[in-house]
């Protein structure tokens, strides 16, 4: 059985998925890539939008897509340092 992911790990997976899809991903595709339940996916994406990591855009065809903000990119850049700090200090 796969180990339960920590919150920051889930956020990293979501943001990485957006980045990997050329910073433009549909919600359904992101749900699949994130490997979360629809309820958890909704909670996480809402949090990420509210905290400014991700933007939810409406496309010309009426569909929605997620893109990373500058803060979202920053999180990805600094993720290893963040995890290292949390590990070293036992937080």
With vertex at residue 59, the alpha carbon angle to CA 30 and CA 18, rounded to the nearest 5 degrees, is 25
Shortest Cβ 81–another protein spacing (Å)? 6
With vertex at residue 82, the alpha carbon angle to CA 73 and CA 12, rounded to the nearest 5 degrees, is 45
Task: Please report whether residue 91 would count as binding another protein according to CB under 8 A.
Answer: yes
Phi, psi for 46 (deg, rounded to 5): -60, -45
Task: Please report whether residue 5 would count as binding another protein according to CB under 8 A.
Answer: no
Task: Please report whether residue 84 would count as binding another protein according to CB under 8 A.
Answer: yes
Structure tokens at 46: 């809402």
Shortest Cβ 55–another protein spacing (Å)? 16
Shortest Cβ 79–another protein spacing (Å)? 9
Length of the chain: 91
Q: State the residues that interact with another protein by CB under 8 A.
A: 7-8, 19, 51, 71, 73-78, 80-82, 84-91
């Amino acid at each position: 059985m796969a180990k339960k992911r920590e919150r920051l790990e889930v956020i990293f997976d979501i943001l990485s998925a957006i980045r990997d899809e050329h910073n433009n991903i549909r919600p359904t595709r992101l749900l699949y890539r994130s490997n979360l339940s629809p309820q958890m996916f909704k909670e996480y994406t809402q949090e990420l939008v509210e905290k400014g990591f991700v933007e939810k855009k409406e496309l010309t065809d009426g569909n929605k897509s997620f893109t990373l903000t500058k803060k979202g990119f920053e999180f990805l850049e600094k993720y290893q340092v963040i995890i290292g700090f949390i590990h070293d200090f036992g937080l």
